[in-house]
Amino acid sequence: MERFDVTWRTLLSVIATIISIVALLWAIPHVETIVAPRHMVVVVAGYTLLLATSGYVVMSMLSLAGASVDEAEADTGSVIGKVENVLILTLTLLGAYTALGLVFTAKSIVRWQDISSGNTTYYLTGSVANVTYSLVFGIVLRRVLDTVA
């Protein structure tokens, strides 16, 4: 039952995040130069697809790396990863590639104590896999938006 509660909270946080991102993109002055209003459906679908698939990609990479994952760590990492997905995709859509380095650095500083606790395979593999997947996904989404008339 507790696992269901965590999943339910994660789902609600993902929905709230998507709504927040749509509102953010809508509120940015001249957002039409970044994301045309007719592309908003594609953008929302992109956020949804990224958030829905990133956990599977990261868990697959962790499995390949042989990382052991405690359930509490996995739940915390999943929530942090979803926030990271949203930040990276938003910055990629905005073309703010320099800011991506700041996000990765900030996450590394915040998680430094966790990384130094001994389970470095879990934290480093999860972080690098999530950042890479989100960045590639964002670049592909930008290309799709550029080609959609």
- What is the b/e burial string over 60-80, where b = at least 16 CB atoms within 10 angstroms of the residue's CB? ebbeeeebebeeebbbebbeb
pLDDT of 141: 93
pLDDT of 135: 94
pLDDT of 25: 63
Q: Which residues contact 108 (CB under 8 A, 6 or more apart)?
A: 115, 127
Q: Is 55 exposed, middle or buried (0-12, 13-18, 19+ CB in 10 A)?
A: middle
Domain ranges within the chain, ordered by starting residue? 2-147
Residue-wise pLDDT tens for the chain (149 aa)? 444 455 666 677 667 766 766 666 666 665 555 566 677 788 888 988 998 899 889 888 888 888 777 776 666 677 788 888 988 998 888 888 888 888 778 777 766 666 666 667 777 788 889 999 999 999 999 899 888 76
Task: Kindly write down the DSSP assignment for every residue of 134-148, as one continuous string.
Answer: HHHHHHHHHHHHHH-
Torsion of CA 67, 12, 7, 129, to 10 degrees: -10
CA 31 centroid distance within chain? 21
Length of the chain equals: 149
